[in-house]
Amino acid sequence: MNTAAPIPPESSNPESAQPEAAAPSFFQTLCQALRGVCPRCKQGKIFETWRDLSPRETCPVCALPLGKHDNGDGPAVFLIFILGVAIVPLALIADRLFTIPLWVHGVLWTGLALILCVAMLRPLKSYIITLQYRHLPRTFEGSDDPS
């Protein structure tokens, strides 16, 4: 008969337990993305200038490699779907409520879609990089991030 106490799993050993940082909330991540800051240090800017749509090669503060995480056209595709779902019903409702010439619809909704797309592209790219850093930290290999 075995009377030895079972060995607890390693994760429940209080000596080997490491304190886990609380995961940032959705709102914190969104604010971070709107500011366009590095997901690790939250100080360095992801984009060099306000016109850039590609991230810097590395964060100027913590040297996190950001350049290889350019998510390309992914955010643009999300925006097409999101803005399409938002703008097309607005156009249909406006057409139903008001008598608007067709050329005004073309100018109004195309212009609105372009403005919103340009305004939302960088924050969405920044948001996706931040999510990538949080959920797939191993893809940032080469960094000295312990997570």
Q: Which amino acid is at 105?
A: H
46 touches Zn ion by CB under 5 A: no
55 touches Zn ion by CB under 5 A: no
Output helix, strand, coil percentages for the chain, rounded to the nearest 5. 55, 5, 45
Q: 126 is written with which tokens?
A: 């920044």
Closer to Zn ion by Cβ: residue 41 or 53? 41
Out of 33, 46, 59, 66, the only residue in the binding site for Zn ion (CB under 5 A) is 59
Calpha distance 83→116 (Å, rounded): 8
Separation in Å, CA 119 to CA 13, 28, 112, 113, 122: 49, 20, 10, 10, 7
79 touches Zn ion by CB under 5 A: no
Question: How remote is the C-alpha of 25 from its chain's centroid?
Answer: 13
61 touches Zn ion by CB under 5 A: yes
Pick the piece of the chain touching Zn ion (CB under 5 A) from 6-14, 39-47, 49-57, 84-92.
Answer: 39-47
Closer to Zn ion by Cβ: residue 41 or 115? 41
Shortest separation between residue 57's beta carbon and Zn ion, angstroms:
12
What residue ranges bind Zn ion (CB under 5 A)? 38, 40-41, 44, 59, 61-62, 64
